[in-house]
Every structure is written in C-alpha cells, then in structure tokens.
Chains A and B, each alone.
Chain A
Amino acid sequence: MMHPVARQAEVAGSNVLSDRRDREPLLSLVDVSLARNGHSVLDRVSFAIERGETLGLVGESGAGKSTIALVAIGLLRPPAVTLDGRMQFAGHDDLLALPESAWAGLRGRRIAMIFQDPASALNPCFTVGRQLAGPLRRLLGLDRAAARRRAIELLESVGLNDAEARLAAFPHELSGGMQQRVMIAMALACNPELLLADEPTSALDVTIQAQIMQLILQQVRARNASCIFVLHDLALASQVCDRIVVLYAGQVVEAGPTEIVLRRPLHPYTNALRACVIELDTETLTPPDGGLPALGAMPPGCRFAPRCPSAKIACSLQTPPLRQLEGREIACWHPG
C-alpha cells in the first residue's frame, strides 16, 4: 500500500480525479442492511458524509449506531453477518464486497477508529510505545528509530506532556483521559481521511470530556478529515456535529443538518429523545415509555409506532419511506 504522502501527491497530480473527489461524498451508505442469526439489525440504512464534515449517529442502545461504525471500518463482515446494499468510499465503489486483503489497505490507514473504552481497547501487556510504534512500522514502513520519533510527535500532538517517558508506560499507569489521548494518537498515526469515534468520552469525567472532544475536533479539522461520532448525548452531539443521523431499531428515522434536526425535530422519536435530555434548568422529564423492540420481534409498519404518542392505525400497517421534508430526510407518516 502507498504511503499517505505519496498518495496525496498522486491524487493532486490528476485533475480529473480531484474533480471527482470534490463532488463525491467521502463515504456513502445506500440501503445497507445487516442481519445476524436471521434477525435484521440494520434495515436499509442510507447516509453520506462529505470531506471535512462531522456527522453524529444518535439513538438508544441497540439502535445500530456502533454496528454501523463496525461495518464502516470492515470489522463486521460476512460470514459473521449477512450484508446487503452498497457502501462507497473515496474511489472504492463497493466496500461491502471488498476482500479482506484489500481492507487491510484501508483499515487503520484511511479509515481509523477511536473506541469507547480505552482501558479495554489498549493491550494491557504492551507499553504505549510498542502499541503506537507497531502500526507505524507495519503500515508506514518506518524503521525503529523513525517510528519512535513519530510516536513521540504523535503523543505530543495529542497533548500528552512528557511524551518520551510515556512511551515506556503501560496503559494501566495512565489515567482514563491519557489513555484516550493515546488511542487518538494511534488512530491519527496514518493521517486517516475518515475517523470513527464510538462514544469517545462516555468513560470520562466532564472536564476531561470537554478536553478530549476539543482535541478530536481540532485534529480532524487540521487534516480536513471527516469524523463520524457515535453519541447518546444529544447536547454533546449538537456541539460537535455538522449533521445528525437519528436511528431507531436499525432504521434511519431523521437525518440532516444539526441545526435543523435538533432545533426543530419533526420525527416524534427525535422529539422524544430531546425530551429525555436533562439540562440544568429541567423541571420535568417526559421520556417515552418502554424501550426498543427486541431483535426477533420487530413491529410491523413503523417500528416506533408502539411507543409513538402521535401514532395512528395506518402507522402499523406500512413502513414509512425516508423522504425530504423541510431541509431534512425523515421517515414518518405524521411528522411534526
């Protein structure tokens, strides 16, 4: 596989290619469905992310947010699951059909991931330096000394002071915030074009959460990379995402620019999610009753209908299609 700098040079040399690059989204999913043990987990999920954009996947646990992230980085593939639909990524027309050998050239290099719980994502048996330098040597072909220098640069760029000494540290010797900084450094090692961040701060304190979110945004913007955040905190999503995709039981129910979707939600589920968010001046919370339907027992028609305050009989008969409405996409028979 080509070194990222070489790849950029090659791309810059071809006007036709760079034109095409500018027009096409970086990653797009078209009707991606995923089933596991015969149960539908994702159902015709479609969305796209542009270069330099941040996109937030939000919804309750079990909605399929993390599953989408794992599909997008090629870690959830047949035969473990059955996949349908199409996923395009910067020049690759069909990522879902990409053989594992080709994935190895993308994963970690052009698409990278920051996992939710750094304490369990980092290997406890190896020092930070070894975990960080390993991929640099393997993926970028750096020699030992160069990999070490680059590792120190990376740790400094994510705000770890005393970077050289940290190389010899084991993950358990670092605080949660520092572990997450190491994870970010690892994800950024090859200057990926797409970063996936699965609840990157849910294991951290609020003051550290602010630091880490700021760091991710700053690094993504500096590289003109794109970032998909998986978040359950809508207020945090409104702060860091350009666009929002709301998922319910494996389906996209509402998607569009954050300002439109979260300020004036039209889908009853987005409204319900907003009504659950607790803020400092919240007097009463009005959460929807119950929870997501079980995987094997999806209700017919609109999957949210059994919990929906504005559901009519027709809602349980036919699945609402995703359509354009007031600057967003929405799947609902009775929006507003």
Chain B
Amino acid sequence: MTNQALPLFRLLDVEKIYRIDGGGWSRLGIGSRRQLAALDGIRLTVRTGDSVALVGESGSGKSTLLRVLLGLTASSNGRALYQGDDIETLADDKRRAFQRDVAMIYQDARGSLNPRLSVLDLIGEPLRQHGLCLAAELRDRVAVLLTRVGMSPDTADRYPSQLSGGQVRRVAIARALASQPKVIVADEAVSGLDVSTQAQLLNLLRGLQREMGLTLLFITHDLAVASYLCSRIAVMYLGRIVEAGPTKEVLRAPAHPYTRALLRASPRFFEPIAETLEGEIPSPIDLPAGCRFASRCPRVAPDCRQREPTLMTMRADRDVACLHPLFD
C-alpha cells in the first residue's frame, strides 16, 4: 500500500480515562478511586481531502479527542495513527513533518496569540520554525498570507490588542496556513462571533478548503455550521461517537435520538421553540451500565439500561450506536 492510500488519521478504539483521587485516603489505597472516561471506544477515519465535523455539547469529549489527535494528550487505550504511525511515538523527523502538516486554529483565538508579538511575528513564526523561507522574504510571505485571509498587508505591524474579534480569527487562520499544512484542525473557530463576521469566516474557510485542497477537522456545536463546511459528521455524546456519516444524510434523517434532539433544538425562523431534551448531560464519572444517553432519551426501552450499544454500520456509510435507531 502506498502512503497515498493510507488514511491521514485513524483512531482505533481510543480511550482516555482519568483517575480521580478521592482525597488523601484514596491515595493510600483506602476508599474508592473513581474513573472519568473522557473518551471511550472512539473509532474515526479521516482521509485526505475529507472535511469532518465533530459535533456535541460541552462535556461530550470533542476537545479531548482533538488533543489526542494532535498528540498533546496520550490515550489510555487504543491507537491514534497518522499516516499509519502512532502519533504518540512518532520518530523525530516524522514528528517534525507532523507538526508542519497538521495546523490548529484554537477556540480562543485571542488567547492563542502572544499579545507581545506583532502580526508579522505571529504569522512569521511557523515560517521560521520550519525553515520555509529566507529572513528577507518573510514580510512578503506574511503579506501574501494576510491577503489570502482577506486582510490588508499593513496589518503586519499591528498587535492582537489592536484587532477586532473577527480580525484576530483571521490572523489565527493565516498563522495556521503559514506552514502549508495538509490538515487544518479547528476548535469552535467561528463561535461567539456576530452573524456577519461568522458568515465571512465560514466563506473564507470554505474557499481555502476548496482552493487549497485542505483536509478539515472542524469542531462545532452548531449543526448548521457543520453542514455548511463539512461533508462528513460525527456526533459525540459523553465520550462516545453516537452517530457518523455523510452530513447531509445524517441531518436529513438522523438515526440516533440524540442527533434528532440536537437538530430540533437548533433555532429555526418562526417556529415555536422545541424543548427536545430534559435534563442535562450527566457526569462522566462512574457512568451507569447501558446506553449513556438512556437518562435523557425520549425513546428509552428497558434493554437500553442493560446493554451498551456500540457504533455499528447500520446502512451504507451510516454508523449508529443505538439499540433502537430511528431508521424507518
């Protein structure tokens, strides 16, 4: 098999379990030690050119999954592969290539940019770090990148505090593009912005993805954003992927009751508010047996509280983890 045919990312039953000390006594082996399963049995494949949305509420494990993908957090069990190699144990040369290939746009763009560096230095840093251009060319390269994200090259001499929320996000995108990555990983890159700024950024990201052939892994809580940018979607709930498949099909006919609830809760013009789910996402510590969505599921049946469903392919390209899926 050539390198081209290998999926870019492959997660094989990845688990991330945090052990929680119950205070001094438990450290001495007295009392109970509890477990927090942030990720549980995650299977995900991302191929070159894919655009994948990871969707779910706070506490569903989206950000932990991202950290495992980027090699920032070691998984407790299972394997996380980049082009066939374990991300945790990449050899030095491969690690450097990985760092150049995979670029990240953080949720808090302003917080992710050093306030003491000018835009020139912020965008120039990855160029220098990976030896991608001569010092004399730096300003020109930064100007090209700024223009690419719809900003004036004059911005190079400004500092993050002098930029608006939308501009800061554009700088973060330009910085991510600087190392000429294959994959862009974005964590809530357009949330918390005005609708107009959000729409401008979504169009920018869609343009970049189409013109540069980027692979996109996009974390969002907004199904409409997922549908605008990504051809595939994976819905997460309490550390598990509960449904995955082509975005359009999943949103047209969701198979998991949680996906349907998310869909109905999204605001729609002139329709009455649909209160779709009762309660809140339960604590991920020491989960009860059975399906983790059972406590909020409107379709819960007795066996849901006994048997935990696994992610299975129910139909062509449609994966669902539910004992009683919503297919027809």
Interface residues of A (CB under 8 A from B): 60-61, 175-178, 202, 205-211, 213-214, 217, 232-236, 238-240, 259, 262-263, 272-273, 275-282, 285-289, 291
* B228 contacts across to A, CB distance below 8 A: 278, 282, 285
Contact A235 B267 (CB under 8 A): yes
* B271 contacts across to A, CB distance below 8 A: 239
Main SS of the interface on chain A? helix
* A239 contacts across to B, CB distance below 8 A: 267-273
* A285 contacts across to B, CB distance below 8 A: 199, 202-203, 228
11 A-B contacts (beta carbon < 8 Å): A60-B196, A178-B280, A202-B192, A206-B57, A208-B57, A209-B265, A234-B195, A239-B267, A263-B270, A273-B195, A291-B197
* B165 contacts across to A, CB distance below 8 A: 61
* A240 contacts across to B, CB distance below 8 A: 273
- Knowing A239-B267, A278-B225, A279-B268 touch, does A210 contact B274 (C-beta < 8 A)? yes
Distance in Å: Cβ of A292 to nearest Cβ of chain B: 9
Q: Is B300 an interface residue (CB 8 A)?
A: no
CA distance A288 to B199 in the complex (A): 9
Q: Is B306 an interface residue (CB 8 A)?
A: no
Distance in Å: Cβ of B284 to nearest Cβ of chain A: 13
* B194 contacts across to A, CB distance below 8 A: 60-61, 232, 291
Contacts A210-B274, A263-B270 given; 4 further ones with Cβ under 8 A?
A60-B196, A206-B222, A279-B224, A291-B196
Distance in Å: Cβ of B190 to nearest Cβ of chain A: 9
Q: Is B221 an interface residue (CB 8 A)?
A: yes
Most buried by B among A263, A278, A285: A278
Interface residues of B (CB under 8 A from A): 57-58, 164-166, 192, 194-200, 202-203, 221-225, 227-228, 251, 261-263, 265-278, 280-281
CA distance A211 to B57 in the complex (A): 14
CA distance A278 to B203 in the complex (A): 11
CA distance A306 to B261 in the complex (A): 42
* B202 contacts across to A, CB distance below 8 A: 278, 285
* Cβ-neighbour of B199 out of A178, A209, A233, A278 (below 8 A): A278
* A281 contacts across to B, CB distance below 8 A: 227
* B225 contacts across to A, CB distance below 8 A: 278
* A234 contacts across to B, CB distance below 8 A: 195, 269
Contact B261 A207 (CB under 8 A): yes
CA distance A234 to B270 in the complex (A): 10
- Knowing A233-B195, A285-B228, A287-B196 touch, does A280 contact B269 (C-beta < 8 A)? no
Contact B227 A280 (CB under 8 A): yes
Distance in Å: Cβ of B293 to nearest Cβ of chain A: 12
Contact A176 B58 (CB under 8 A): yes
Most buried by B among A206, A210, A273, A289: A206
Distance in Å: Cβ of A229 to nearest Cβ of chain B: 12
Contact B262 A280 (CB under 8 A): no
CA distance A236 to B243 in the complex (A): 26
Most buried by A among B192, B195, B197: B195
Contact B195 A232 (CB under 8 A): yes
Distance in Å: Cβ of B300 to nearest Cβ of chain A: 16
* Cβ-neighbour of B224 out of A232, A280, A286 (below 8 A): A280
CA distance A214 to B266 in the complex (A): 13
CA distance A276 to B270 in the complex (A): 17
Contact A236 B267 (CB under 8 A): yes
* Cβ-neighbour of A272 out of B196, B262, B267 (below 8 A): B196
Q: Which residue of A lies closest to B227 (CB)?
A: A280
* A209 contacts across to B, CB distance below 8 A: 265, 267
- Knowing A177-B280, A277-B195, A287-B203 touch, does A206 contact B262 (C-beta < 8 A)? yes
* A202 contacts across to B, CB distance below 8 A: 192
- Knowing A263-B270, A280-B251 touch, does A207 contact B277 (C-beta < 8 A)? yes
* Cβ-neighbour of B266 out of A175, A217, A275, A280 (below 8 A): A280
Q: Which residue of A lies closest to B264 (CB)?
A: A210
Distance in Å: Cβ of A232 to nearest Cβ of chain B: 6
